[in-house]
Structure 1
Amino acid sequence: MAPRSLEPIFLLMIVVVSVVPVTVKAAYSSIHEVLKSHGLPAGLFPESVKSYNLDQRGVLEVHLDRPCMAKYENRVLFETVVRANLSFGHLKGLEGLSQEELFLWLPVKDIIVDDPSSGLILIDIGFAHKQLSLSLFEDPPICRSQGISMKMAGRKSIGFQDQR
């Protein structure tokens, strides 16, 4: 039996623990595990991810050592920092990711997997949506710098120059 002087403290601890919500953040060892736990394929980000941060609001920030290019169906450019709002099956409001379409580099806005059993992933590039096979994104791609400047500030920064 506990001494009488400890009983009020013990009761107070029980009340506090039962009233105060406890938030447990799952510990993920990699960005690829984070993606899988949110219903997305592990290969959406390259294997060379240096670090990532996922805050309580679902804002995901992925850091790479340098900008790089990977290939899925088309070529994709990752900036040094890629940001998005992460929820189950969705990466919304992406920043720092562009995809090559018909010789143009277009920003990827959203990546959505509504129904994993369909085997499809939806890539939203603003004015168009593209459905691709989820199998293209199973494994993290190798991302290479390819010796090009990829500041992504405009066409000139990725090798295009205005012709006058």
Structure 2
Amino acid sequence: MASTPSSMASISLLLLSLSLLFQTHLSLPPFDDFHDLLPPYGFPKGLIPSTVKFYSISESGEFDIHMHHSCYVQFNRLVFYDKKIRGRIEYGSVTNVTGIQTKKLFFWVPVTGIDSALGFLRFHIGPLSEKLPAKQFEMVPICKHKVLTQAFER
């Protein structure tokens, strides 16, 4: 079966489109520090504390972050970071998050996702969400091993 010029052009266009899609998805250079990976995805560097030991990320955006130790950070609320954090990142969205919890009243609840838009971050906490200014997360926070419960109760 002979190829016609129009079918060859269609195939070439399809291959070019797939090539551009693949290059766009993989256009990020490798980063030594996970914090530098966040801004190209539309997030501030300070979502994850300073104790990242190493991380891996797949082409589909699935990531694993290994921390030196589990720890606490005080943002608007007290947040606990486990020694291993997982999720999936794409531009403006982190989903399927495990390993991060926040304290609401007297209970620890998991952060399951984060969306970024127009200078705000929306944290999905179970079936609820909370919107906070992205500016709160510009600086990479220092993680504390222990927390004095009285100091952080609100």
TM range (shorter): 0.7 to 0.9
Distance 1:127 1:62 in 2: 24
CA drift at 1:71: 1.1
User: Could you tell me which residue of structure 2 aligns to residue 39 of structure 1?
Assistant: 42
- Is 1:29 the counterpart of 2:21? The answer is no
Query: How many pairs are equivalent?
Result: 128
Q: What is the TM-score of this pair, normalised by structure 2?
A: 0.76
User: Could you tell me which residue of structure 2 aligns to residue 99 of structure 1?
Assistant: 102
- Is 1:85 the counterpart of 2:88? The answer is yes
Distance 1:138 1:41 in 2: 5
CA drift at 1:24: 6.0
User: Could you tell me which residue of structure 1 aligns to residue 134 of structure 2?
Assistant: 134
Distance 2:126 2:45 in 1: 23
Equivalences for residues 47-66 of structure 1 within 5 A:
47-66=50-69
Give the direction of change, closer, same or farther, for the CA distance of 1:124–1:147 in structure 2 (3 Å limit). Answer: closer
Q: What percent identity do the matched residue pairs reach?
A: 25
Q: What is the TM-score of this pair, normalised by structure 1?
A: 0.72
CA drift at 1:63: 0.7
User: Could you tell me which residue of structure 1 aligns to residue 123 of structure 2?
Assistant: 123
User: Could you tell me which residue of structure 1 aligns to residue 10 of structure 2?
Assistant: none
Bigger radius of gyration: 1
User: Could you tell me which residue of structure 2 aligns to residue 109 of structure 1?
Assistant: 112
Which ranges in structure 1 are unaligned for 5 or more consecutive residues? 1-17, 149-164
Report the structure, 1 or 2, having the larger strand content: 2
SS of alignment partner, residue 109 of structure 1: strand
1:52 maps to a residue whose letter is: Y
Deviation readout 1:5-49 (Å, 9 max, x if unpaired): xxxxxxxxxxxxx99x67666121211111111111100000111
Q: RMSD over aligned Cα, in angstroms?
A: 2.2
Give the direction of change, closer, same or farther, for the CA distance of 1:144–1:55 in structure 2 (3 Å limit). Answer: same
- Is 1:67 the counterpart of 2:73? The answer is no
Distance 2:30 2:127 in 1: 37
